[in-house]
């Protein structure tokens, strides 16, 4: 029996960073990557998905809606409230990890990050996720 691909939504406005994550996660078994170059585009994809999203990997600092607002919207939405969220950010502000923890973010990685650790954590999050 063929299993459905696990869909990961990568939200990153920097083209190089998005491409790097797409290659990193694309090497994972049975994972499909969908990218959004803004939080607004990601929110639209979440509200009208072509296929169910199994996890979100997002940056924080983007023009327009930032990653914090996207996370808040996801957590407030009954259809996506338990979706695994991983943040990969260049933010060095000391209060950021606590702000993300309070929002229910599952994992946070600072840039530069260990590709192996990020990939392993994402694998764990999507393996453990049980949609409501």
What does the pLDDT read at residue 1?
Answer: 43
Query: Mind listing the pLDDT tens digit for each residue in 7-39?
Result: 999 999 999 999 999 999 988 888 999 999 999
Domain span at 56: 36-128
Would residue 76 count as lying in a domain? yes
What does the pLDDT read at residue 92?
Answer: 74
Provide the 3-class DSSP secondary structure of residue 85: strand
Number of domains in the chain: 1
Provide the 3-class DSSP secondary structure of residue 118: helix
Query: Mind listing the pLDDT tens digit for each residue in 82-99?
Result: 999 999 998 778 899 999
Would residue 112 count as lying in a domain? yes
Would residue 19 count as lying in a domain? no
Would residue 120 count as lying in a domain? yes
What radius of gyration do the chain's Cα atoms show?
14
- Does residue 56 surpass a pLDDT of 90? yes
Would residue 89 count as lying in a domain? yes
CATH of the domain at 54: 3.40.50.2300
What does the pLDDT read at residue 18?
Answer: 93
């Amino acid at each position: 029996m063929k299993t459905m691909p696990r869909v990961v939504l990568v939200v990153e406005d920097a083209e190089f960073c998005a491409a790097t994550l797409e290659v990193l996660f694309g090497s994972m078994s049975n994972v499909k990557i969908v990218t959004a170059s803004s939080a607004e585009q990601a929110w639209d994809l979440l509200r009208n998905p072509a296929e169910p999203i199994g996890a979100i990997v997002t940056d924080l600092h983007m023009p327009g809606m930032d990653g914090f607002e996207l996370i808040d919207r996801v957590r407030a939405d009954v259809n996506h409230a338990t979706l695994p969220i991983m943040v990969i950010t260049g933010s060095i502000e000391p209060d950021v990890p606590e702000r993300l923890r309070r929002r229910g973010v599952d994992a946070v990685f600072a840039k530069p990050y260990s590709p192996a650790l990020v990939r392993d954590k994402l694998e764990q999050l999507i393996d453990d996720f049980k949609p409501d």
